[in-house]
Amino acid sequence: MESLLGISNLWFTLCAAVFGIVLLIAWIILPFALIGTRGILHDILAESKRQTAILQAFKDGQPPP
């Protein structure tokens, strides 16, 4: 029984270490990923505003801008 408990403890330690390493890598990479998407989100917002203006002009019966 002692050897089975030792293997289980080793397995848990290895899984916890791998999870910790993956979490550490994600913690380091995440800020750079968020900074990289800022420009893309700005472009999406600008396009959304442009489409809203076109739809509003269409609704009012005016030519689109």
Ordered per-residue pLDDT tens for the chain, 65 residues: 455 556 678 888 899 999 999 999 999 998 888 788 888 989 999 999 999 999 999 888 887 66
What b/e readout covers 14-35, taking b as 16+ CB neighbours within 10 angstroms? eeeeeeeeeeeeeeeeeeeeee
pLDDT for the residue 6: 60
Whether the predicted model's global pTM rises above the 0.85 cut: no
